[in-house]
Structure 1
Amino acid sequence: MHEKSWLRRRVEKAFTKALTRAYETVKVDPQRFLLELRAAHGLPITSFQGMYTVEPPVLDTVAEQIIRSSMKIAAAEGAGFGLGGFITIVPDFSILAAITLRTIQKLSLVYGFEFNTDEEMAELWIAAASAAGVDLGRDLLEKNVVNRLIPRIIQRIAAKASTEFVEKWAGRLIPVASSIIGGVLNYYFVRGWGERAQAHFRQKHLELRRRTLQQQTIEAASITS
């Protein structure tokens, strides 16, 4: 029990450092990503607002492909760094955090949510918390300005993720098996976070789409009456 508690604290510290670094350095280029979406999927859009004119099943397919691609990258990175066993825990998390955050950013854009302002960036990290299975609570969200909110969200995510990882970590302490298990852990970690982030953005997208349609219906009715 003591060893697991020590390991969890070590992992939580590593996760906090990795997520903080990712927050400061990792950002998908929206315009480049828009061009990639148009070329790879033939989406008839000129901006991410155009995502609201694309049928949701099409967006879902794009999102699922993004998650699968990230899972493969994470698995390959996990297998490579896993060769050193526990010693490589910190660089492993740095790369995993970057892959995960880039995945969440791409999913946000696919469902029409950009992250140019502080408020939009905070929403992105709220989505990351949702992906990690963290309940932030109304009190945390209401009483914090953006520059204090995100570090606190990172702390909550790191605490949750460290517990999740330690429960599945035993094999990685054995270097012989760590390469295989490291890849598998990263694969399923990104899949879990990716799927929960997709569900978060998809729900927000459908809600905004529904409100927009209702508003358009009301405006059309007022014109004809």
Structure 2
Amino acid sequence: MAVEEAQGRLVAALDEALHKLYDSLWLDPLLVKSDLEKRGIFFRSWDALFAVPLPLLDAQAKSYLDHEKALNALRGVGLGTGGALLMLPDLEELVRSAILLIQKISLTYGFDPSNEAGRKEIWRVLALTLTGEDLLAGDPLSVSARLFEKSREKISENMGLTPLLRFIAKKIVWRFVKRRVIQVVPLFGSAVAGFANYRFIEEIGTKAQSYYRSKHLSCREAVEREGESGRPEGEG
């Protein structure tokens, strides 16, 4: 019972933190634009990325994911030495990293989440990545695509912000309480925390990439069809 009460308090605290993050945690799109330009990808509007070779965008998304995995693994090792007392700030930092990573991936594939609908989609994607199974053997992107189809049944596009953030808080706390109970023993907890953070970001990032990559391909195909329909007959 004591464990359940502590878990409930942690969910409530994280839920409150998520509401604060929702209003403040937004990335300047120009940072991603600058990173893409370093790869030789120059554009004026985000939908212009639908004409960029997909492997270039995949490489940029992977670069963001690899960076966040390494960063959060190190952060987890540090916070893990503090035991359960530091679990809440660790979870807040993980959510912060996950949301920024999802924004970077979204922008990389041509979707600017600057308006309210785009912002909510970022958090909905985070919720989607928290449902279903862990990464399985085989191609992670194809596995994630299958999981997303199942996840859509649980996370409605019309779900309100309050229940959405509550859902995220519950899922994250359940996952880390389950995987990091050993964190109460500091010497072991640091190693467990580092690995758990790495796996968390890996799973979130890979599934988010699957989501936006699939959305990108749909838009790319639509643009190509539109171009073909507007082409004068006889032109190849």
TM-score normalized with structure 1 length: 0.87
Distance 1:193 1:138 in 2: 17
Query: Which residue matches 2:197?
Result: 186
Say which of 129, 133, 150 aligns to 2:161.
150
Equivalent position to 2:157, from 141, 149, 156: 141
Q: Which residue of 2 aligns with 1:21?
A: 20
Alignment check: 8 A CA contact 1:4 1:166 kept: no
Aligned mates of 2:2, 2:152 — CA distance in 1: 28
Identity over aligned pairs, percent:
25
**Distance in 1 of aligned mates of 2:6 and 2:203:** 22
**Count of aligned pairs between the two proteins:** 216
Q: Can you list the C-alpha shifts for 1:15-36, whole angstroms capped at 9, x where unaligned?
A: 3233223212211110132113
**SS at the partner of 1:141?**
coil
**1:35 maps to 2:46:** no
Give me the whole-angstrom Cα distance separating, in 2, the residues matched to 1:125 and 1:200.
13
Q: Distance in 2 between matches of 1:170 and 1:122?
A: 32
Out of 173, 185, 193, the residue aligned to residue 184 of structure 2 is 173
Q: Which residue of 2 aligns with 1:102?
A: 100
With 133-142 and 197-206 compared, the bigger mean Cα shift is at 133-142
Does residue 217 of structure 1 match 2:215?
no
Provide the residue aligned with 1:114 in structure 2: 112
Within 5 A, what are the aligned runs for 1:115-130?
Answer: 115-130=113-128
Q: Is the 8 A contact 2:72 2:94 kept in 1?
A: yes
Aligned CA distance change for structure 1 residues 138 and 187 (closer, same or farther; 3 Å)? closer
For structure 1, which runs of at least 5 residues remain unmatched after alignment? none
User: How far does residue 209 in structure 1 lie from its aligned partner after superposition?
Assistant: 0.9
Q: Is the 8 A contact 1:18 1:97 kept in 2?
A: no
Q: TM-score, normalised by structure 2?
A: 0.83
Give the aligned partner of residue 60 of structure 1: 58
After superposition, the C-alpha distances for 1:132-161 in whole angstroms (9 at most, x for unaligned) are 22746489434x5xxxx2232111112222
| Contact 2:49/2:109, CA 8 A, preserved across alignment | yes
Tell me, yes or no, if structure 1 residue 200 matches structure 2 residue 199.
no
The match for 2:73 is: 75
2:32 partner amino acid = F
- SS of 1:224's partner is coil
**Partner SS for 1:171:** helix
CA-to-partner distance for each residue in 1:65-86, whole Å, 9 max, x for gaps?
Answer: 1111001111121111111100
Residues 170 and 25 of structure 1: CA distance in aligned 2, closer, same or farther (over 3 Å): same
Distance 2:154 2:179 in 1: 31
The structure whose residues are more often helix, as a share, is 1
Aligned 8 A contact 2:79 2:86 in 1: yes
Q: Which amino acid aligns with 2:36?
A: L
* Mapped contact 2:180–2:189 kept (Cα < 8 A): no
Deviations 1:31-62 (A, max 9, x none): 132113212x2223333222112111221111
Which amino acid letter does the alignment assign opposite residue 28 of structure 2?
A: D
Q: 1:113 to 1:214 in 2, by over 3 A?
A: same
> Whole-Å Cα distance in 1 between the matches of residues 212 and 57 of structure 2?
11
Q: How far, CA to CA, are the matches of 2:54 and 2:7 in structure 1?
A: 39
Which AA in structure 2 matches 1:164? Answer: R
**How far is the alpha carbon of 1:93 from its aligned partner?**
1.4
